[in-house]
Chains A and B, each alone.
Chain A
Amino acid sequence: MSVKKKIQHTILLHNAVLLCILLGGLSTFFMASGNKPLQIYTGLVLAVSYVAWGIISHAMDGSLHRNIVIEYVLIGAIACVVLVTIAL
């Protein structure tokens, strides 16, 4: 496999995993409809999964840096706080 194809394959894999995480999270949100604590828990798990995906994804393509980790953690934190705000 050429290097270009290998990179394309890796990107495809990363995107597929992200899609699974997001779709899984979204469907769990709707399945837990009417159960607010479970929905908040789902949101938190989704945020943690997203941060983990971001870190692993960058680590695998060799672009992981402390600033990137901070960025993902902050984006995840913003999403969690927004979720709690809506659930108030």
Chain B
Amino acid sequence: MRYDGCMKLGSLLYHYLVPHEHNNHRARALHHESLFAYVLLLVIFNLSITRIHKQAPDILGYATDIRIEKLLEATNTKRQEQGLGQLSLNQTLSQAAQNKAADMFANGYWAHNSPQGKTPWDFILSAGYRYSLAGENLAKNFDTSAAVVDAWMASPTHRDNILKGGYTEVGFAIVNGVLLGEETTLVVQMFGTGTSNERAQIPQVQAKEPIAVQVPQQPAALAMEASAPAAARVAKTQNLPFVGGVHIAPLVDIPAVTHQVAYMFVGLIVGVLAVDAFVVWRKRLVRLTGHTIAHILFLFVMIAGSLSITRGSLL
């Protein structure tokens, strides 16, 4: 009885995976209806992931752990490695970064300048920071603080900002929300060198509030720098405890699931195609089908290319 069951399973697998006379010399798993079923199944899988994520982001979501203190630490480590001085965290710059992030979500843009023409420097000045030198890095949809800083360091313009010797202070904002219809964790890093050590005469309302806010979405990075004529006064660096960030720990991480499913799926198809090519070559079969080896190469290239796709991006 058990032996029969094993035999049946063996025959079924043979029928589905190996070309022979009973499946028209083409593994059943490679017949048109099977290929069409794979497409359909994957589309349903993708739609289900998207829908479940929208309805229950706590269960199925994007795991994120980005914290201001870690961003500061990693930024200063990179500077120290180049023999540069450490940047101190400035509350006013962090507020400017926070205002910039809020404006990007409110007006739905992913750019250095807002659709209304506001530049990063407008945000810095309006927060009360007077600078002789300022810069901005943006990032979105990275999953860890280290990944954000590593991506900035890999980009020449962002790296220049991090390693600019003229900067003395930095501010951060990490905001999670929906940007351009996509869940986004936005990271804004603003650099500055004040014109004096005096505190600006602008009320620092948010000084005790954490700079990071939770709104659901991805990371993007932006790098700009500017040297502006010295303005008036500079907001003094705050010595208040300044911690914050976005920490999202869903039950199931979407990229982990989708990657596993996709790689397993392509692995199976490529495996069946390889068996097919081998059997056809061994038996010297002549069939009216596509080029199996070409299919394998094409799928390999698509998978290799997709390995370079990351959610995180820099502007």
With beta carbons under 8 angstroms apart, the residue of B49, B295, B308, B312 that contacts A29 is B308
In the complex, the chain B residue whose C-beta lies closest to that of A35 is B313
Interface hits, B2-36 → A, CB 8 Å: 32, 35-36
With beta carbons under 8 angstroms apart, the residue of B45, B290, B313 that contacts A34 is B313
Interface of A, helix, strand, loop or mixed by DSSP: helix
Q: CA–CA, A53 to B297, complex, Å?
A: 13
Known: A82-B303, A88-B50. A33 touches B308 (CB 8 A): yes
How many residues of chain B have a CB within 8 Å of chain A?
A: 44
Q: Type the 1/0 row for B293-315, where 1 means its CB is closer than 8 Å to any CB of A.
A: 01101110111111011111110
Q: Which of B65-73, B234-242, B262-270 lies on the face that meets chain A?
A: B262-270
Q: CA–CA, A74 to B262, complex, Å?
A: 16
Q: Which residues of B contact A43 (CB under 8 A)?
A: 302, 305-306
Q: CA–CA, A71 to B309, complex, Å?
A: 27
Q: How far is the CB of A26 from chain B (nearest CB, A)?
A: 5
Contacts from A to B (Cβ < 8 Å) = 18, 22, 25-26, 29-30, 33-36, 39-40, 42-43, 46-47, 50, 53-54, 57-58, 63, 65, 67-68, 70-72, 74-75, 77-79, 81-88
Please list 13 pairs of residues, one from A and one from B, whose beta carbons are closer than 8 Å in the complex, sorted by A's number.
Answer: A22-B297, A26-B301, A29-B304, A36-B313, A67-B289, A70-B32, A74-B32, A77-B39, A82-B262, A82-B266, A86-B262, A88-B46, A88-B254
Contacts from B to A (Cβ < 8 Å) = 32, 35-36, 38-39, 42-43, 45-46, 49-50, 151, 155, 254-255, 258-259, 261-262, 265-266, 269, 288-291, 294-295, 297-299, 301-306, 308-314
